Amino acid sequence: MLKTTRCAGASWLPGVLLVCQIGTPAHAAPAAVAPETVATQLRDAALAGHDIAYGWLSELTTRFGARPAGSPNEQAAAEWAVLRLKALGFENVHLESFPITAWVRGTESAQLIAPTRQPLVAAALGESPPTPAGGIEADVVLFPTLAELQAVAPGSLAGRIACVTLRMVRTEDGAGYGPAVAARIEGPAAAARAGASAFLLRSAGTGTARFAHTGTTAYVEGRVPVPAFALSNPDADQLERIAALGQSPRVQLSSTASTVSGAHSQNVVADIRGSAKSPLEQFVLLGAHLDSWDQGTGAVDDGAGTAIIVAAAKLIRDLPHKPQRTVRVVLFGSEEIAQPVAPGSVFGGHAYADTHRGELPRHALAAESDLGADRIYAFALPHAVLKGEFADTVLRVLGPLGILAESHAPRDAGADVAPSVEAGVPAFALNQDATRYFDLHHTADDTLDKVDRVQLDQNVAAWAALVWLAADGTQNFREPGAP
């Protein structure tokens, strides 16, 4: 039998008990320990409090602040991450660069011109073109929904600004984002079709604080067709109340946004090598993204995700024995300009899947942390293991963290790992409480102080434990008969 005691090699984890054989030197190969036992101890080690996740997140957001895709800050953060991951003991740490067209906000302003002059809080949507040099001044026509804007006659809004005021619904699982973001994605095209000179959106965000939520939008013939801005929720309320008073809001918008062709972004790849060697080496892929929107410091989106997966992998790294599979951490670049893919555009998730195409059949499992730093309340496993001993074990280990088992496979693997998942890699998910995430998402208010360290550590605990169970074994997560 083994006894738990403090391992010499784990001195970076104050007060944490790890499994090692009494009398054997740290890092010597101990006798096999049941994966569930190790997973439970990893879980408890993460909860015991350590500085890996929060320390990483604090340093990342402090040193580099905003890390827009293709920016010097994104690159500097990636180079810093390489050094830090090496120092933490990761192997095979390297950058994988890829070309992108970057977008730069420039200066911008928005104000109500009539019935009275009032400053408005607005932010250009990602990849929005600039306004003409003198700005755009026009009456605003309000539409409660995207569908109502899409239904107007082509050209009927000439000389005016179209504004969709749909309000995002707050839910624990973030389900309100889908309907809200549809107006962000499709709105500029609908406004352009109607002949409007610009598009305004009530932010796809749940907060009542006066922040505008940026984010990408869809291209029409290779570009966002009209200047497009998000208004903060209070500003959208204001336009609606002005209209309810029988007055017509007139707005002036200006933006010097620009694009930088020939820019590049990069993924950071780092492994905790498993015991099985090539060509038998398999991977459990953990993803998060290092880029962020440009007004905040990318703390909850997605510095937290990078901190969670790095800390979870580091806990595994510092065990006295290796898992069978390699745990691969990828800090993706250029996630934020990914979603409404422009023709020919390349971003981190695609770049990884392309570069590692030959390895993907040996990716046993993949998942992404990209919904903030609040607690995990459920796990979702691939369909092939929804029931059975693996799922039962996961529930026994994660249940004490307040985590339920979902009855279905992940509905959304995450933007970064999606190209790998589409290529056949099975996905799991650790579903986070997103109740307050969309108060901060894509705003200037996405800063370190919003992160709850207790909940951050609960994330690390769940990731470390589940990843260990997936990595230290030979469980096949693919559907029977899948390649």
The residues carrying an active-site annotation are: 335
Candidates 66-74, 218-226, 269-277, 405-413; binding stretch for its own copies (CB under 8 A): 66-74
440 or 466: whose CB is closer to its own copies?
440
Name which of residues 70 to 129 contact its own copies (CB under 8 A). 72-73, 76, 107, 109, 112, 115-119, 121
Q: How far is the CB of 258 from its own copies (least distance, A)?
A: 16
Q: Encoding tokens for residue 140?
A: 């605003």
Q: In what side-by-side order are the strands of the sheet with 118-119? A: 118-119, 108-114, 250-255, 136-143, 160-164, 198-202, 228-231, 122-124
Residue 438 interacts with its own copies (CB under 8 A)? no
User: Which range, of 142-150, 159-167, 426-434, 439-447, touches its own copies by CB under 8 A?
Assistant: 439-447
By CB under 8 A, residue 389 contacts its own copies? no
The footprint of its own copies on this chain (CB under 8 A) covers a number of residues equal to 41
User: Whole-number minimum distance, CB 100 to its own copies, in Å?
Assistant: 19
Identify the bridge partners of residue 200 per DSSP, sorted by sequence position. 163, 229
For its own copies, the binding residue among 294, 302, 336, 416 (CB under 8 A) is 294
137 binds its own copies (CB under 8 A): no
**Separate counts of helices (H) and strands (E) for the chain:** 12, 18
User: With DSSP H G I counted as helix, E B as strand and the rest as coil, what are the percentages for the chain, rounded to 5?
Assistant: 35, 25, 45
Task: Determine if 170 is a binding residue for its own copies (CB under 8 A).
Answer: no
* Pair of tokens at residue 166: 């749909």
Helix (H) or strand (E) holding 390: helix 389-398
Among 40, 131, 216, 297, binds its own copies (CB under 8 A): 297
289 binds its own copies (CB under 8 A): no
**Distance separating alpha carbons of residues 293 and 339, to the nearest angstrom:** 13
Which of 139, 148, 173, 237 is the binder for its own copies (CB under 8 A)?
237
CB of 321 to its own copies, least distance (A): 35
Does residue 454 belong to the site contacting its own copies (CB under 8 A)?
Answer: no
Q: Based on CB atoms, which residue is closest to its own copies, 234 or 361?
A: 234
Q: How far apart are CA 333 and CA 250, in angstroms?
A: 39
Applying CB under 8 A, the span of 253-261, 312-320, 325-333, 441-449 interacting with its own copies comes to: 441-449
Q: Which amino acid is at 87?
A: A
136: which DSSP letter?
Answer: E
Residue 453 in the binding site for its own copies (CB under 8 A): no
Amino acid, single-letter form, for residue 94:
H
Nearest Cα residue to 448 out of 372, 362, 358, 339: 372
CB of 8 to its own copies, least distance (A): 30
Distance CA 3, CA 415 (A): 42
Packing angle, helices 52-64 and 304-317, rounded to 10 = 140
Quote the CA–CA distance of 56 and 90 in Å, as a whole number.
15
Per CB under 8 A, residues contacting its own copies are: 58-59, 62-66, 72-73, 76, 107, 109, 112, 115-119, 121, 208-211, 233-234, 237-238, 241-242, 245, 294-297, 443-445, 447-450
